[in-house]
Chains A and B, each alone.
Chain A
Amino acid sequence: MERTTLTAIEKAAKEIRKQILKIALERGGCYLAQACSSAEIVATLYMEVMNLGPSQGAWRPAPFPGVPGPGNMDYQKGSLYNGLPAPDRDRFFVSCCHYASVIYSALAATGRICPDCMDKFNVDGWNMEMIGAEHSPGFENTAGSLGQTVSIAAGTAHARKLRGESGRVFCLLGDGELQEGQTWECVQAASYYQLENFIIVVDANGQQVEGAIEHQMVLEPLPARFAAFGAECVTCDGHAPEEIIAAANTAHPGKPLVILCRTRGTTGIPPLEKRWPYLHFVRISEAERAEYQAVYDAM
């Protein structure tokens, strides 16, 4: 791995965090911890791991194009920002769509949408919604109901395998979402159909809405669980791009690959440690503003 590539990824990750902290400061809150845990993962996927074509999406955010229906199927799909589909290109599905701000910021950091796109983030009537859907930049589908996107991505991978395409299908998940039974229905089916073109990337930040995962439900040992369902699972430090890249290069003949990225939702913004593990949506009070502003100014 070229050191320059790693440096560029780290820079982009930093930019993603900075963008979302900016939003949190301007508007009093955001899904900030998700940016902290996934910034390196998303930047690494976009900049090194995935083989995506150049963005075909509009340079600037656009008004909400309407709900899909018989008379509205030609609206601008969010997936255009990941390039046009082609047999040898990869595809990217985001299941943890509360990470929408992370995806938009990653698109901006990698030149796929204008740098100031976050000005339209969560603004009424625009396509940069707080929780992404088909039309939101970077999104293939409507993922707000957890557990479904992994199956949609696997179905896409299955279709591509049936057609003999060489491109892969990536799906980004959170770890709390792994409590959904459908996830495991999907992994067993992806194993049955030997979808070696299917790669699940988990941002295992150990937190969910009500707190630490271990205080809500038994999830671990995740590597053994994925293996038992027939997938190849490799664990890495989700804040180390070189480890994510190495994990993505793991051989997994005849099996789907799961890249389990161990992360922390406070990385890069130390004051967040004080509220771990209650980090699903971070509000910044007036009393805390100066502390977070100082972090922002130092970025």
Chain B
Amino acid sequence: MEMVINCHENNMLRFAAEHPEVLVLSADLGTSCEVKQFRSRFPDRYLTMGIAEQNMCSWAAGLCREGFRPFLHTFAVFLYRRILDQVEMSVAYPNLPVVFVGFVPGITTPGGVSHQSINDVAVMRSVPNMAVFDIGDATEIECVLDLAYAYNGPVYIRMLRKEVPRLFPADQPMEFNRARTLSRGTDLLLLSSSICTEEAMRATAALRQRGVSIQHMHVSTLKPFTDPALLQAAQEVRYGVITIENHLKIGGLGSAMADLMAEHGVQKRMVKIGLDGYAHGASKLYLMKKYGLDATNIIQAAESLLGASTGITEADLTAARFEDFLEV
């Protein structure tokens, strides 16, 4: 699998060169959020706001009102949990196109509970006017800034950094409010987002080998959540729907899909895979296994919906990709 290094770093440079009104605001984590080169390339467009996220958010609203396009860079957790009132009253209510680029989403950081944004999708989806993107691979990183720029309002992005796999062809860009179909089938619908899509692909390969007809779709626009293909897929599968996300089970991808199905009277069983509560500091792979955000758990969910064993064991799954312990 192709691994792309510092994909956002390079894309941000490309994007900023095309849009002179784009500014980067940092709260002392720019070097951890792949905007180090941006600072040296565009020093006048890189605004250090200090370790003071509340002011950074409202300040960005002022810049935005004057026609600049601020892109706030810090860890995801500091862009919603710490400053929700600023997000809502300074930016979301007036529908200003401020972009919140949140890094190390969910359990992608060994930084522990203070650094892990486990309910950011739930919170940000509940903020009126806000669009929510959850990035899954390098191709999406290369697309998401342009999608955020084109959106008429504030945007929250769960961004990935450092070594990111390219799961989707570079010439098949991410589309706004459109899921990406990775496997077609009629027995089960599997929805995945963020880092869980790689696990879902491992599970799907094994399930297909055992004759399970599985529809796998990767979802990166979590709000709005009105892609008709998602509803159609849920209506067409025989046994039910599985969702897996790098997030709490409440308020994220699974909840959004459950809402959609209930609103349209789709009477299918559903298994939501996600976190049940706060996590702790450890490596990503360890945490994914510990909290069941992995292919093994998807197989179990599929067997539960199918009402039959597939006979798939750990040995039947392709090896999980090793990822080194990254800095906090």
Contact = CB atoms under 8 A, between A and B. Distances in A.
Interface in B277-309: none
Nearest to B45: A162
B61 interface: yes
Given A69-B128, A148-B89, A185-B50, A141 B94 contact: yes
B63 A155 contact: yes
B58 A73 contact: no
B59 A158 contact: yes
B55 A68 contact: no
Interface in A67-82: 67-70, 73
B67 interface: yes
Contacts of A186: 55, 58-59
Interface string B42-58: 00100111101011011
A68 B66 contact: no
A284 interface: no
B94 A155 contact: no
A159 interface: yes
B89 A156 contact: no
A70 B52 contact: no
Interface string A136-149: 00001110110111
Nearest to A186: B55
Given A148-B90, A151-B54, A181-B54, A73 B62 contact: no
B85 interface: yes
A67 B62 contact: no
A151 B66 contact: no
A150 B86 CA distance: 12
A182 B54 contact: yes
B95 A69 contact: yes
B54 A147 contact: yes
A68 B95 contact: yes
A2 B55 CA distance: 40
Interface string A146-186: 01111111111111101100000000000000000110011
A189 interface: yes
Contacts of A67: 93, 128
Contact of A188 (B50, B54, B66): B50
A156 B55 contact: no
A134 interface: yes
A221 to B, nearest CB: 23
B129 A158 contact: no
Contacts of A163: 66
Interface in B109-146: 128-129
Contact of B66 (A69, A133, A142, A160): A160
Nearest to A151: B58
A150 B50 CA distance: 17
A154 B128 CA distance: 25
Contact of A156 (B54, B65, B86): B65
B153 interface: yes
B139 to A, nearest CB: 26
Given A148-B86, A152-B61, A156-B65, A68 B52 contact: no
Contacts of B196: none
Contact of B50 (A147, A153, A189): A189
Contact of A189 (B44, B49, B86): B49
A77 B259 CA distance: 36
A182 B65 contact: no
Nearest to A153: B62
Contact of A155 (B52, B59, B153): B59
Nearest to A79: B65
B168 interface: no
Nearest to A141: B94
A132 to B, nearest CB: 13
Nearest to B55: A185
Contacts of B239: none
A94 B128 CA distance: 24
Interface string B153-194: 100000000000000000000000000000000000000000
Given A144-B89, A181-B54, A68 B94 contact: yes
Nearest to A73: B95
Interface in A178-213: 181-182, 185-186, 188-189, 192-193
A160 B67 CA distance: 10
B15 interface: no
Given A142-B93, A152-B58, A70 B66 contact: no
27 contacts: A69-B95, A141-B61, A141-B90, A142-B93, A142-B94, A145-B85, A145-B89, A148-B85, A151-B57, A151-B58, A151-B62, A151-B86, A152-B90, A154-B55, A155-B58, A155-B61, A155-B64, A156-B65, A157-B62, A158-B59, A159-B63, A159-B66, A182-B52, A182-B86, A185-B52, A186-B58, A189-B50
Interface of B: 44, 47-50, 52, 54-55, 57-68, 85-86, 89-90, 93-95, 128-129, 152-153
5 nearest A-B residue pairs (beta carbon): A155-B62, A151-B58, A159-B66, A185-B55, A155-B59
Given A151-B58, A156-B65, A193-B47, 8 more contacts: A145-B85, A148-B85, A148-B86, A151-B90, A152-B58, A152-B90, A155-B63, A189-B49
